[in-house]
Amino acid sequence: MASNTNNINIRRSVNDPFYRYKMPRLISKVEGRGNGIKTALPNIVDVARALSRPPEYPTRYFGNELGAQVKADSKADKFIVNGAHDAEKLQTLLDGFIDRFVLCGSCENPETDLIITKDQMIIRRCMACGNTSDVDMRHRLTSYILKNPPPKSKKGGQHAAGGAAKSGDGSGSGGGGGSGNDLAALVGSTAQMGLSDDGSDWDCDGAVVVDDSLGGPLAQKDGGDDDSGDGGAGAEDEKDPFDQLGDFIGEGGHDDAAIFAKARELDLDSNHRALVVVIQCVLEESTTLVKDIGRHEKLLKQFGTSDKHQRAVIGGFERLISANPDALLAKTPAVLKALFDREIVSEEVLLDWGKKPSKKYVERDDAKKIHKAAQPFLEWLETAEEETESESE
Ligand SMILES: [Zn+2]
């Protein structure tokens, strides 16, 4: 690595000239213009290595904090945050990341490992003082970390100051490439997963991993459906069309009409699974989720309105909720009600979905939780149905 003059203290508040924990100063490079403007992070890999964290973590952290979409592709060495962000702003955000996800909660030493406990909590274990400290699980990045655990450091003590092992390398024991990572692994197993092994590892702003979940598992999980022939899934070296659609939405700046046009171009415009991608990528802003359903009503109906499409709409929301349960589980009844009120999903399909948790789109445990959260709405819907029936008698 280049001269030390570009190195700064990992804890920037420390002025001690002998402080030994250094990292490269973050570089940001604004590219493009207009709606396509984005910020590349050319040295985030080096910065992350100094922190002993996969580069995906700080990149996604920026996305979470800025409400911006990110692309984190270790294979292509591409780390991008949508929008224009100067290096100093990002460096300040990085301080927050370091505070929350790197420094020991007791002694503030940066030589820590992130460990996922059996009950799906993330803790920092300090190599310097031996203490463990909890990570604040309310932060959105935690759901990504749970799904993409840090590679285990093979040699103890290889940490910040000394330049840690290159994260991602040689950690691919847990399932290899994208299609091998099944949803079970994705949604919270503590198994080691190669972070950088599965190529384009972007999502729609840190909440939902799209390529894994749609390229492989969704296709498998959907295998029982009679749609095996749809859409040019056979094209060989072409990227998966669902990924392409997700990438397109992830670029940002496209309105619903453009998104649907892209879906048509990819031959996905009547494909119910495309709805799952669209929902995860377009409606990922948790604070305005219910309102956003209304804003995107047309798009949500445009792909088709068969029972299968409607079921996929619910599935897309199940995935959103399972990816960010802290913020969204409680909104389940409101989400379903909005889908019902807007006639995006019919009463019949909703009641049918409500009969029992299905792991068609999410893990069984998540499906159960979502069902439980949905009960007030389902009860309301059943009552409303009875009332309507008795009124019409
Ligand atoms: Zn410590």
Mean pLDDT per 10-residue segment, the chain (393 residues)? 69 88 96 92 96 97 95 90 96 97 95 93 93 94 94 52 37 34 30 30 38 37 40 52 87 89 91 91 85 92 92 93 88 92 92 90 90 91 68 48
Look at residue 181 in the predicted model and tell me its pLDDT: 32
Which DSSP string do the residues of 22-53 spell out, in sequence order? EEEPP--EEES-GGG-EEE-TTHHHHHHHTTS
Integer Cα distance of 2 and 25 in angstroms = 11
Query: What spacing in Å lies between the alpha carbon of 103 and ligand 1's midpoint?
Result: 8
* 74 CA → ligand 1 middle, Å: 30
Residue 288 CA, distance from chain mean position: 17
Partnered with residue 134 across adjacent β-strands are 123
CB-based contact 18:33 (threshold 8 Å): no
Q: What is the DSSP letter of 216?
A: I
CA 27 to ligand 1 center in whole angstroms:
29
Q: What is the signed CA dihedral for 225, 229, 230, 233, rounded to 10 degrees?
A: 110
Cα of 269 vs centre of ligand 1, distance in Å, is 54
Strand order in the sheet with 112-116: 112-116, 122-126, 132-134
15 C-alpha vs ligand 1 centroid, how far in Å?
19
Domains of the chain: 4-154 (3.30.30.170), 203-391 (1.25.40.180)
Between the CA of 61 and the centroid of ligand 1 the distance, in Å, is: 23
| Cα of 10 from ligand 1 centre, angstroms | 15
Q: Where are the alpha helices (DSSP H) in the chain?
A: 44-50, 56-66, 87-101, 141-147, 183-186, 210-213, 219-221, 241-250, 256-265, 272-282, 289-295, 297-302, 307-323, 325-328, 332-341, 347-355, 364-391
Q: Are 242 and 208 in contact (CB under 8 A)?
A: no
CA–centroid distance, 99 to ligand 1, in Å, is 13
Alpha-helical (H) ranges within 150-196 are 183-186
Task: Identify residues whose C-beta is under 5 A from ligand 1, the ion.
Answer: 104, 106-107, 109, 126, 128-129, 131
Separation CA 72–CA 167 (nearest Å): 14
* pLDDT for the residue numbered 107: 94
Query: Ligand 1 centroid vs 114 CA: distance in angstroms?
Result: 13
What pLDDT is stored for residue 116 in this prediction? Answer: 94
User: How many angstroms is it from 137 CA to the middle of ligand 1?
Assistant: 19
Residue in the structure block whose two tokens are 């792991």: 359
